[in-house]
Amino acid sequence: MQNINIQKTQGGFTLIELVIVIVILGILAAVAVPRFIDLSNEADQAAVAGVAGSLSSGSAINYAAYKAGNGNFVEVSNCTGAAGTIEGGLPTDYTITAGAVAVDTAVDCTLNSPEGNTATFQAIGTPAP
């Protein structure tokens, strides 16, 4: 009978392979983190644009109610008056730059967020009900 010597080899990663993988993951994380940090500013800009869109829509609906003789409209003689055209008013700490709005006239107004981003919306002038 022959004596066969079979040697078992263990599979696994060497320490140097593990260190290289950790270094590569660290480099990828260092490149990706600044991209995610910048997303908060983009989210605020999108929120400001959304509120500005609501103000434009609310102002248009308010003007339509005025023209229809509905009586359920609010006065918009200044850009700031457009805040009364949306349910619940402006979100906390948002401001509108003042500017005169004549009756039956559309004016571009500026909305400011607490973080300093701005968006433009259109206010349409209506008289006092």
CA distance 128 to 93: 26
Residue-range definition of the domain harbouring residue 66 = 44-124
Location of structure tokens 């102002």: 59
pTM, to two decimals: 0.73
Q: Is 26 left (phi over 0), alpha (psi -120 to 50) or beta?
A: alpha
Find the mean pLDDT for residues 60-83.
Answer: 94
Lowest-pLDDT range of 66-70, 76-80, 105-109: 66-70
Lowest-pLDDT range of 24-33, 35-44, 50-59, 89-98: 35-44
Residue 83 lies in a domain: yes
Residue 84 lies in a domain: yes
What's the total number of domains in the chain? 1
Task: Supply the pLDDT for residue 75.
Answer: 96
Lowest-pLDDT range of 2-16, 26-40, 87-101, 106-120: 2-16
Residue 116 lies in a domain: yes
Q: Residue 126: what are its φ and ψ, rounded to 5°?
A: -135, 150
